[in-house]
């Protein structure tokens, strides 16, 4: 039987995403009612600038007092799309304390304080859903914590930032330099005026923390994620990648150790073979590649940002939470029973592509090979070219730990015949 009393929703934030959430709630009201089993009513919208005209939103719903809105007591669901740590954290906690469940798109807050927020939600018997926090419209959080709940996930590797993928794709396809590609991304609206959060990997690192926590049933915080930006990637790196049959992507990688005793989470540029599914992800799109024991290899692909795609994920969570409210139940909360340690980056084992500037004279290759051997790093291939006394030496290793590679590079820098280390890049996906 359809319930006639509406479920009341408070919206915190009415920017690009929030305005789309409000629009879809209005234009799809009948469909949402049929899917949920009760009408959904937008009961209030908290904003910073109340005088701004917001099409489709009644002025009397708009308030600057977000705290009073979430404290009303008659709110069933709070949708938080303001971002940042505070006041979002305090508002979400207050919402739980006053009887509301929460849908959030706040990756930074969830990566930093997800465990504490889950604890408050559980204490008050409420839901915390956050599909939109990781990969925009791509259904990923729910498949990982529900559809694959009976499986063992071993690795999650993905492109989770559209801005960086657009820039790297442009560098790959046109030969443009980093700054040129960034300028185009900015002009097209893919990059913010200050792109630091994207290009330095902060955005992707927050998403990696969330993905690792869900996948491995372990608390992984933002501080646990190794982060390396992509501002130093050059056209020469792409040329080297092409010679190897690879391209370069900024990847978020979460993986379980081979012995299953620990996990790692990291974000950095990496070469991946053109044959890998992630290599074909173009423009500002996102994709996440999941490897598990029973399901095998799965790939999730789609638009990872933008008002409408992100609002789609928010509305999907809203429907699920509202259904739970009607049935008197809650969805899955935090699952951290495994409590695996998070290993440091030095323990991570992968392949490496190292480009050295060296003197073009006999014996250089032998010296370099000796250094690699002394540090236990096995060489897969070597390519040398040069003239007029200077040469470029490209070494691709077999799998080695980050700590071993770091020691190798430090020793190489001390050789008189090595003029400099032009670039170091990890090789993934093989």
Over 80: is that where the pLDDT of 155 sits?
yes
Q: How confident is the model at residue 53 (pLDDT cuts 50, 70, 90)?
A: confident
Virtual torsion, Cα 382, 401, 346, 340, nearest 10 deg: 150
Share of the chain above pLDDT 70, in %: 99
- Mean pLDDT for all residues in the chain: 95
Give, in order, the Cα–Cα distances in Å from 430 to each of 242, 262, 313, 355.
Answer: 15, 21, 32, 20
Tell me the average pLDDT across 282-290: 96
pLDDT for the residue 415: 95
What is the per-residue pLDDT across 61-113, written as a single tens digit (0 to 9) for each? 999 999 999 999 999 999 999 999 999 999 999 999 999 999 999 999 999 99
Q: What is the mean pLDDT of residues 382-389?
A: 78
Strand 349-359 and strand 400-401: pairing?
antiparallel
Reported confidence tier of residue 390, pLDDT bands at 50, 70, 90: confident
Q: What is the mean pLDDT of residues 339-358?
A: 96
Residue 387 reports pLDDT greater than 70: no
C-alpha–C-alpha distance, residues 127 and 149, integer Å: 18
Q: Are 202 and 196 in contact (CB under 8 A)?
A: yes
pLDDT band at residue 386, thresholds of 50, 70 and 90? confident
- How crowded is the C-beta side of 53, counted as CA atoms within 13 Å? 1
The residue-averaged pLDDT of 409-415 equals 96
For the residues 51-59, what does the mean pLDDT come to?
88
Interatomic CA distance for residues 311 and 303, integer angstroms: 12
What's the confidence (pLDDT) of residue 55?
85
Q: Which residues pair with 266 in a beta bridge?
A: 226, 253
Nearest 10 degrees: CA dihedral of 140, 145, 146, 147?
Answer: 60
- Report how far residue 111's alpha carbon sits from residue 206's, in angstroms, rounded to the nearest whole number: 5
pLDDT tens column, 234-277: 999 999 999 999 999 999 999 999 999 999 999 999 999 999 99
- 347 Cβ neighbours under 8 A, 6+ residues apart: 257, 262, 264, 401, 402, 403
pLDDT for the residue 3: 67
pLDDT at 128 over 80: yes
Residues linked to residue 355 through DSSP beta bridges, in sequence order: 394, 423
| pLDDT for residue 54 | 87
Q: Which of 216, 170, 204 is nearest to 304 (CA)?
A: 204
Asked if 341 and 197 count as a contact pair (C-beta separation under 8 A), the reply is no
Q: Residue for token digits 């495994």?
A: 338
Per-residue pLDDT at 2 exceeds 90: no
Summarize the confidence of residues 134-142 as an average pLDDT.
93
Confidence of residue 388 (pLDDT cuts 50, 70, 90): low
Active site residues: 207
The pLDDT tens digits for 303-342 are 988 889 999 999 999 999 999 999 999 999 999 999 999 9
Q: What pLDDT score was predicted for residue 362? A: 87
């Amino acid at each position: 039987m359809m319930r006639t009393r509406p479920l009341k929703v408070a919206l915190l934030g009415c920017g690009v995403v929030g305005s789309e959430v409000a629009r879809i709630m209005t234009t799809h009201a009948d469909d949402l009612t049929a899917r949920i089993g009760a009408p959904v009513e937008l009961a209030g919208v908290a904003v910073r600038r109340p005088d701004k005209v917001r099409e489709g939103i009644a002025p009397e719903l708009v308030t600057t007092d977000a705290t009073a809105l979430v404290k009303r007591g008659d709110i069933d669901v709070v949708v938080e799309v303001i971002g940042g740590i505070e006041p979002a954290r305090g508002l979400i906690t207050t919402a739980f304390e006053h009887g509301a469940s929460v849908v959030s798109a706040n990756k930074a807050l969830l990566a930093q304080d997800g465990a504490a927020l889950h604890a408050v939600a559980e204490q008050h018997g409420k839901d915390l859903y956050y599909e939109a926090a990781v990969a925009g419209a791509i259904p990923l959080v729910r498949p990982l914590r529900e559809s694959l709940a009976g499986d063992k996930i071993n690795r999650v590797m993905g492109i989770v930032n559209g801005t960086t993928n657009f820039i790297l794709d442009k560098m790959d396809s046109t030969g443009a330099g980093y700054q040129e590609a960034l300028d185009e991304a900015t002009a097209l609206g893919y990059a913010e005026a200050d792109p630091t959060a994207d290009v330095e990997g902060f955005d992707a690192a927050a998403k990696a923390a969330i993905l690792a926590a869900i996948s491995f049933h372990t608390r992984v915080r933002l501080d646990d994620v190794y982060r390396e930006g992509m501002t130093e990637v050059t056209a020469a790196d792409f040329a080297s990648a092409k010679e190897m049959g690879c391209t370069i992507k900024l990847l978020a990688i979460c993986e379980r150790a081979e012995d299953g005793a620990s996990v790692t989470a990291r974000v950095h540029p990496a070469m991946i073979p053109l044959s890998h599914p992630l290599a074909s992800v173009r423009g500002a799109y996102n994709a996440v590649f999941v490897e598990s024991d029973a399901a095998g290899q799965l790939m999730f692909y789609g638009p990872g940002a933008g008002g409408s795609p992100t609002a789609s994920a928010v509305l999907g969570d809203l429907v699920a939470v509202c259904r739970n409210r009607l049935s008197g139940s809650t969805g899955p909360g935090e699952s951290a029973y495994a409590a695996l340690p998070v290993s440091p980056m030095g323990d991570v084992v992968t392949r490496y592509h190292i480009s050295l500037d060296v003197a073009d004279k006999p014996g250089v290759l032998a010296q370099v090979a000796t250094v690699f051997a002394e540090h236990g790093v096995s060489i897969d291939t070597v390519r040398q070219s040069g003239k007029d006394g200077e040469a470029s030496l490209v070494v691709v290793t077999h799998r080695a730990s980050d700590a071993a590679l770091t020691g190798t590079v430090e020793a190489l820098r001390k050789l008189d015949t090595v003029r400099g280390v032009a670039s170091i890049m990890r090789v993934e996906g093989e």
